């Protein structure tokens, strides 16, 4: 039995070594990709529920390898966080998105707001405020059109620090959205203490609401609470007409999802602005 235990351990540790070396390989790939600028941003429209107008877009990163493969952020953002490579990557994202959104503003769509995701590590980084200030200055994009999406995870270690960081961002004039709402914990307690403008309902609630009355009730409650606290509500992951109709009925303010559009390249988004959603 002892022998077997030893073998098991051996097997386990080989397995770990394999995972670790794969991780190092991926980390090196990621460093190289940052240096070679192999990332691109896609933009997903956000639609005003009441009018059907495009009122903004969320920037979403993709990794395009030289071999022509597109790798989704779910596959590399966690490692980028772990290795802190998310910091230079996040700076690139903000600067690229602001430059692009400034072009759209200058070509007549000055009402568009830009939403950019911030990972917890970025949000808590000491250089965040100066990085944002410099990026806005350099690109000429107005702070009031920028919305930063954060998750409840930012408050796990130090809620006071997170709140003071949010207040600084608000003073800079940018808006703050809480992303994936309903998937974290202590949600209600945080909600009343965080200076938030926007609440984004997490996709699973939206996707199950048409078939599951509990999810529908939760979505209704989230919208009610957000409105009571003066926040507007975005539903994301909206894929069907039925989900859209329900969300409108429940008073949801903004819609994002494949029903209207998948995330698009900047060129395709420009085309969408000029031609509308249903052409
Ligand atoms: P997220 O911020 O919750 O972004 C929404 C995700 O849902 C995007 O996936 C989007 O393509 C997808 N989505 C939108 N509408 C629908 C729909 O109707 N149905 C379904 N099934 N999915 C929909 P994506 O682009 O793969 O991004 C995944 C996550 O990676 C994001 O989730 C975000 O947490 C992270 N991420 C993406 N870009 C960035 C970035 O620039 N910085 C950071 N820190 N994180 C990013
Ligand atoms: Ca987001
Ligand atoms: Ca989300």
The residue whose CA is least distant from atom 22 of ligand 1 is: 237
Instruction: Count other C-beta atoms under 10 Å from residue 24's C-beta.
Output: 11
pLDDT at 182: 86
**Å from CA of 64 to ligand 1 middle:** 16
Q: pLDDT tier at 2 (50, 70, 90 boundaries)?
A: very low
Mean pLDDT of the region 131-154? 96
**Is the pLDDT reported for residue 7 higher than 60?**
no
Report residues near ion ligand 3: CB below 5 Å.
Answer: 179-180
The yes/no answer to whether this complex scores an ipTM above 0.90 is yes
Name the token pair of 39.
């990332």
Q: Mean pLDDT lowest for which of 5-9, 33-37, 137-141?
A: 5-9
Are 33 and 13 in contact by the 8 Å Cβ rule? The answer is no
Nearest partner of 41 among 93, 99, 109, judged by Cα: 93
User: Percentage of residues in the chain with pLDDT exceeding 70?
Assistant: 94
Q: Dig out the tokens for 94 from the structure.
A: 């903000």
3-state per-residue secondary structure call for 167-234: HHHHHHCCEEEEEEECCCCCHHHHHHHCCCCEEEECHHHHHHCCCCHHHHHHHHHHHHHHHHCCCEEE
- Ligand 1 proximal residues by C-beta, below 6 Å: 44, 59-61, 72-74, 77, 90, 93, 117-119, 179-180, 236-239, 257-258, 263
Give pTM, 2 decimals: 0.93
CA distance 148 to 67: 32
270-279 burial: b if 16+ Cβ within 10 Å, else e: bebbeeeeee
What would the pLDDT profile of 185-197 be if each residue is shown by its tens digit?
Answer: 766 778 888 999 9
For residue range 233-274, list pLDDT tens digits in order.
999 999 999 999 999 999 999 999 999 999 999 999 999 999
238: closest CA among 221, 250, 230?
250
Q: Which atom of ligand 1 is nearest to the CA of 42?
A: 25
């Amino acid at each position: 039995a002892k022998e077997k235990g030893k073998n098991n351990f051996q097997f386990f540790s080989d397995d770990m070594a394999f995972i670790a070396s794969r991780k190092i390989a991926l980390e090196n790939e990621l460093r190289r990709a940052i240096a070679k600028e192999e990332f691109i941003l896609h933009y997903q429209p956000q639609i005003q529920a009441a009018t059907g107008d495009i009122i903004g877009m969320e920037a979403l990163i993709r990794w395009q390898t030289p071999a022509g493969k597109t790798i989704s952020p779910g596959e590399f953002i966690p490692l980028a966080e772990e290795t802190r490579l998310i910091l230079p990557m996040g700076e690139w994202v903000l600067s690229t998105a602001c430059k692009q959104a400034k072009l759209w503003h200058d070509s007549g769509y000055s009402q568009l707001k830009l939403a950019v995701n911030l990972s917890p590590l970025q949000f808590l980084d000491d250089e965040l405020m100066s990085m944002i200030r410099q990026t806005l200055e350099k690109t000429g994009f107005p702070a009031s059109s920028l919305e930063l999406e954060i998750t409840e995870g930012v408050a796990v270690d130090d809620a006071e620090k997170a709140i003071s960081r949010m207040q600084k961002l608000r003073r800079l004039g940018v808006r703050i959205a809480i992303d994936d709402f309903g998937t974290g914990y202590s949600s209600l307690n945080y909600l009343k203490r965080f200076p938030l403008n926007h609440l984004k309902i997490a996709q699973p609630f939206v996707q199950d609401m048409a078939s599951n009355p509990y999810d529908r009730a939760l979505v209704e409650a989230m919208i009610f609470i957000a409105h009571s606290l003066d926040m507007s509500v975005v539903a994301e992951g909206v894929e069907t007409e039925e989900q859209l109709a329900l969300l409108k009925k429940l008073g949801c303010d903004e819609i994002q999802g494949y029903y209207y559009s998948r995330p698009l390249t900047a060129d395709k988004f420009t085309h969408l602005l000029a031609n509308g959603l249903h052409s």
